Structures are given as structure tokens and as C-alpha cells.
Amino acid sequence: MNAIIEMTDVRKTYATGALEVAALRGVSLRIAQGEYVAVAGPSGSGKSTLMHIIGCLDVPTSGEYVLAGGDVTTLPEAHLADIRNRRIGFVFQQFNLLPSLSACRNVELPLAYAGVTPSERRRRAVEALTRVGLADRLAHRPGELSGGQQQRVAVARALVTDPALILADEPTGNLDSAASADVLALFDELHAVGRTIVLITHEVDVARRAQRSVLIRDGRLAA
């Protein structure tokens, strides 16, 4: 199976004045196309730094990161921004929906940034929202939706560009148990049809839903 993510001896060090903090200490990780992998670890373990590098939101201090066959380790920010928009679908704990826009318009946003025509944006947004069970909520704004529905809108937004990778950062962190179960069931469905999903979490029960889980501690993969 082709790899979506190939990391080799990735290290990340942050400098604050004279102080250097090693957030990642030599992470090597391979995730194949179609895998559903959870990256779990306690606060301060390095999982957020790893998520930022996987999502091309940050770059390693050293090591190599190949995403979908292309080395992104040293790409300039403009290229990384294009990769984030076209090849990675993000689902965040805070939903990150614009409150003044409808569900459909929120889902259209990545396509607008990519220069897709309005009619095509609309078609694809409706398709994505239908896929996550919100065909009857297209015109609703985030404030008119439950937390679980808002996260489904966020998942639809992640899907609308047909990305190589869905990256979910603590996607159930702001949800009650029923809404969490609904969102995790949606991830199960997406995995079943071949989507590659990387889920960052500190919750053991959430990590167990994935096909495979890896544990990060003190900037190193422990399992």
C-alpha cells in the first residue's frame, strides 16, 4: 500500500531566548493510504507539534517529511498553504466555522480559496453536507446547530476538496458523549470507503476506535 505519510527522524526544537525546548526527538512514522491512525498522548507529549508538522502548519527542525509522495520538508510557506488547502482536510476541536455564514457557505470556503466557480462550489458543498447527514441544514448558521452538527459541518468542509488526508485534532473535545459517538461513527464510515484519517487525541477510548494507534511521550513514539 502506498504511503500517505512518511516521516524519518523528524525533530522539532523551539528556541525561547537562550532556552531550547525539544518538542519532537526523532519521530519516524509511516501511514499508508486508507489507514485510520490515532496519535495519542498526554498534554505536553509532543502530539500537537506532530499534528502541526503532519498538517504542514509547521516544518521540522531536521529530518524528512514526505506527504503523498512529495517531500514537503523545506517547501516555502506559499507552497505549504496550497498543500493545506488542496491535499489536507482539517477537523479541529473548536469547529472553526464562521458564525455569519450558513453551513453551505462554510463548506464552500476551501473551494473559494482554490478558485473554484460558484456553481461548482455550491454543488460540491451540498454533496459533502449530504454525505455527513446534513442535507436539511444547508442554510443554518453555526449558532442554529448543535455541537455535533457543527462538527459534521467541519467534517464536510474537510471532505469538500477531496483531500489525500483528513487530519482531526481532538475532534470530540467539545462534544458530549452522544455527539462524540456520532462523529466517531462518521469517521468509521469514511475509513470504510477508503479515506485516510489521522486523529490526534488524549482520550484512550477515542484512540481505540482507530484501526491503529501510536503513543507519543516526551517527543518520541512509544508504541
Domain boundary assignment for the chain: 36-45+77-221
Task: Report, as an integer, the average pLDDT of 118-125.
Answer: 97
Instruction: Give the model's pLDDT for residue 17.
Output: 81
The pLDDT of residue 220 is 95
- The architecture that CATH gives domain 36-45+77-221 is 3-Layer(aba) Sandwich (3.40)
Mean pLDDT calculated for residue range 48-67? 95
Query: What is the residue type of 202?
Result: H
pLDDT-based confidence at residue 14 (cuts at 50, 70, 90): very high
Q: Which helix (H) or strand (E) holds 219?
A: none
Q: How confident is the model at residue 190 (pLDDT cuts 50, 70, 90)?
A: very high
Q: What pTM does this model have?
A: 0.91
pLDDT tens for 138-184 read 999 999 999 999 999 999 999 999 998 999 999 998 899 999 999 99
What is the distance between the alpha carbons of residues 21 and 95, in angstroms, rounded to a whole number?
Answer: 29
Higher-scoring residue by pLDDT: 24, 42: 24
| pLDDT for residue 223 | 60
Q: Please give the C-alpha separations between residue 19 and each of 50, 61, 147, 154, in angstroms, as whole numbers.
A: 21, 15, 40, 37
Q: Provide the CB-side half-sphere exposure for 59 (13 A, CA).
A: 13
Give, rounded to a whole angstrom, the gap between the first and last alpha carbons of the chain. Answer: 21
Amino acid sitting at position 145: L
R_g over Cα of the chain: 17
Query: Which cell numbers in the block locate residue 209?
Result: 476506535
Find, among 174, 157, 153, the residue nearest to 166 by Cα.
157
3-state secondary structure of 70: strand
